[in-house]
Structures are given as structure tokens and as C-alpha cells.
């Protein structure tokens, strides 16, 4: 099993320390207009019905320079097809991770703008790429109808929606072939902690919704 750091509620100090490390390496923050401004909500609202698609495929040279990185490719779809409470202005996030060993993992999450989402217990900023206290928070889940969590993380975008940053907080993801999808515990280390994706054509996200519409057959712990 891949062993990696998770960013759920019990790991806020780890997230804060990692955020400081990312700042030290010069990872740029996404400069928003000001505290309390929801950027991703409007980006998703402006997208066509298929949603906004983001992707990053790491080439061999990048992976050779970052030997500790286990993720070889990431594809994300943000859609107005919300799975959040109707009273919350949220959206849906579908994710596919392809690992170096060619294994493919999938996740789905409900995302919403939350005041103070980027603050830890001591009011410290948790994630370096968000330079404000407020942020878009995502709660991954086993099934849309299930209250069981499968990860807790922050995401952010530039105002134009060209770049998507993800704090890798996936803790369970779907693995296995069609008709036999199983939830599996996952964890990721520092080399996979922050993912930077770019906006691509909607066709690049084809198949994500179909995979995540399949029921989970087994949930492993």
C-alpha cells in the first residue's frame, strides 16, 4: 500500500508544517482579490453543463527529478451537478489519480466555500497556496448518499480558473475494475502533497462520472 500523509481534522498541525515547507520552497500562492472571496464557485458556475476539467500529466523527466512522487497523472472535473446540501452553494469534484505503477484511483467530493477553512486550531494558515483564511473545502465521500468521509482537503484557483491547486487529503479512494470497485485506504507523502493542474478541454474528463456512478462493492480498511 502507498503510505502518505492525510490532511483530515486530526492532521491540522502536519498540514501547517507542510504549508510552511511549501512556502520555503517558493511555491506561489494564488492571490485572490481579498478575504472572503469565493473564486471557484463562479468558475464552476460559468462552465458548460459538463463542468470545468483540469489535468496534469507528469512527464518522465519530472518524475525522474522527483523520485518520491507516486502520482503520474491527475484529472479533475468540477461540476454544478451538486451533491451538497441544497442550502449550500457548493459543487461536485470528481478525481482520477494515475500512479507510477499504472494503477488508477477515483474519488468524489462535495466542495463549498467556507470561512476560516484555511485556519488551524491556533489560527495559523494551513495551506501555503491559499493566502487567506477562507478557502474552498472539499469533503470526499464513499458514496453521495453516505455520510462516511474519504478525505478532507482544500482547493483553490486563480480568478480566471486556468489553474487548480489541490491539497492532497485523499484518505480512501476507489480501486479495481468496472463492476468490482472497492474503497481502499490511501495515503500520500510530501512529494504528492500539493497538486497543480491546468484547465483542459472537457473531453479530457470523459468517463469520470460513469466510474463514480458505480456502487462501491467492498470497503476495505
Return the C-alpha cell found at 201. 478541454
Of 50, 38, 37, whose CA–CA distance to 80 is shortest? 50
Q: What is the pLDDT of residue 82?
A: 58
pLDDT digits (tens, 9 = 90+) for 144-198: 776 678 899 999 999 899 999 999 999 999 999 888 889 999 989 999 999 999 9
Average pLDDT over residues 106-126: 92
Which pTM does this prediction carry?
0.81
User: Which residues are registered as beta bridge partners of 194?
Assistant: 167
Cell for 58?
A: 507528469
Task: Give tens-digit pLDDT for 12-70.
Answer: 433 333 333 333 233 444 444 445 578 898 899 888 888 999 999 999 999 999 999 99
**Minimal CA–CA distance to 106: which of 115, 98, 114, 95?**
95
SS3 213: helix
Q: Which residues pair with 70 in a beta bridge?
A: none
Amino acid at each position: 500500500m502507498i503510505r502518505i500523509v492525510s490532511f483530515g481534522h486530526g492532521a491540522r498541525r502536519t498540514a501547517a508544517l507542510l504549508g510552511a515547507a511549501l512556502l520555503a520552497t517558493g511555491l506561489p500562492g494564488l492571490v485572490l482579490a481579498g478575504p472572503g472571496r469565493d473564486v471557484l464557485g463562479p468558475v464552476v458556475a460559468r462552465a458548460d453543463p459538463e463542468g470545468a476539467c483540469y489535468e496534469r500529466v507528469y512527464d518522465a523527466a519530472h518524475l525522474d527529478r522527483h523520485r518520491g512522487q507516486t502520482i503520474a497523472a491527475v484529472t479533475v472535473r468540477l461540476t454544478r451537478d451538486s451533491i451538497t446540501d441544497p442550502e449550500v452553494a457548493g459543487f461536485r469534484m470528481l478525481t482520477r489519480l494515475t500512479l507510477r505503477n499504472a494503477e488508477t484511483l477515483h474519488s468524489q467530493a462535495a466542495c463549498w466555500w467556507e470561512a476560516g477553512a484555511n485556519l488551524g486550531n491556533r489560527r495559523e494558515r494551513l495551506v501555503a497556496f491559499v493566502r487567506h483564511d477562507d478557502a474552498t473545502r472539499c469533503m470526499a465521500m464513499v458514496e453521495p448518499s453516505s455520510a462516511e468521509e474519504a478525505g478532507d482537503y482544500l482547493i483553490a484557483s486563480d480568478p480566471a480558473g486556468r489553474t487548480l491547486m489541490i491539497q492532497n487529503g485523499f484518505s480512501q479512494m476507489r480501486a479495481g475494475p468496472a463492476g468490482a470497485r472497492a474503497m481502499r485506504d490511501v495515503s500520500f507523502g510530501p512529494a504528492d502533497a500539493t497538486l497543480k493542474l491546468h484547465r483542459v478541454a472537457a473531453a479530457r474528463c470523459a468517463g469520470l462520472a460513469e466510474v463514480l456512478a458505480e456502487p462501491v462493492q467492498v470497503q476495505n480498511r
